[in-house]
Amino acid sequence: MRIGIGYDIHKLAENRDLILGGVKIPYELGLLGHSDADVLVHAIIDAIFGSVALRDIGYHFPDTDERFKGADSLDLLKNTSNILKDEGCKIVNIDSNIICQKPKLLPYINEMRNNIAKVLGLELNQISIKAKTNEHQDSMGEGHSIVAQAVVLVEVNN
């Protein structure tokens, strides 16, 4: 068994879609980034790469590469899953947090879980997503950014 931890933060900005876990969430601001800036999926990707000591998302999908401009993070997650399989590993479970003051995310959590499960070939009970506020503290609590954290447990098959 191996474990990895992932983290991502993006600023909120006008004229951007808010996409979390592959779900477009109605909100007046979206996340600023080179790809779709899906902090949840990016944190999961980093956790997966970390579990097998294969660096991080920026190494595999650099923001200096035009191929990833506007990229759908679920596509990046699929590529990450294929790399994990090439390493002879499979995901046991994922636990994650999304930290933001607004918008409320509870209505979208199950759709996020479904999207991630489908891409990774997992069951829903293998994916936990929790939404937290930051009690009006720092950039998340003041509504300037959104953070995601993820932990993944993988089983080594070789």
Check which CATH number belongs to the domain holding 12 and give it. Answer: 3.30.1330.50
pLDDT at position 158 = 65
| Residue range of the domain that includes 150 | 2-156
Q: Give the strand order in the sheet containing 145-156.
A: 30-31, 2-13, 145-156, 89-99, 127-132
pLDDT at position 128 = 98
Packing angle, helices 73-86 and 39-51, rounded to 10: 10
Question: Encoding tokens for residue 24?
Answer: 């477009």
Instruction: Determine the Cα–Cα distance for residues 45 and 139; give it in Å rounded to an integer.
Output: 23
Instruction: Determine the Cα–Cα distance for residues 83 and 153; give it in Å rounded to an integer.
Output: 15
Instruction: For the chain, list residues with pLDDT below 50.
Output: none
3-class state of residue 144 by DSSP? coil
Q: Count the domains in the chain.
A: 1
Contact 88, 158 (CB under 8 A): yes
Instruction: Determine the Cα–Cα distance for residues 148 and 158; give it in Å rounded to an integer.
Output: 31
Q: At 133, give phi and psi (nearest 5°).
A: -100, 175
pLDDT in tens, 104-146: 999 999 999 999 999 999 999 999 999 999 877 777 767 889 9
Question: Encoding tokens for residue 86?
Answer: 């090439």
Q: How far apart are the first and last CA of the chain?
A: 11
pLDDT at position 29 = 97
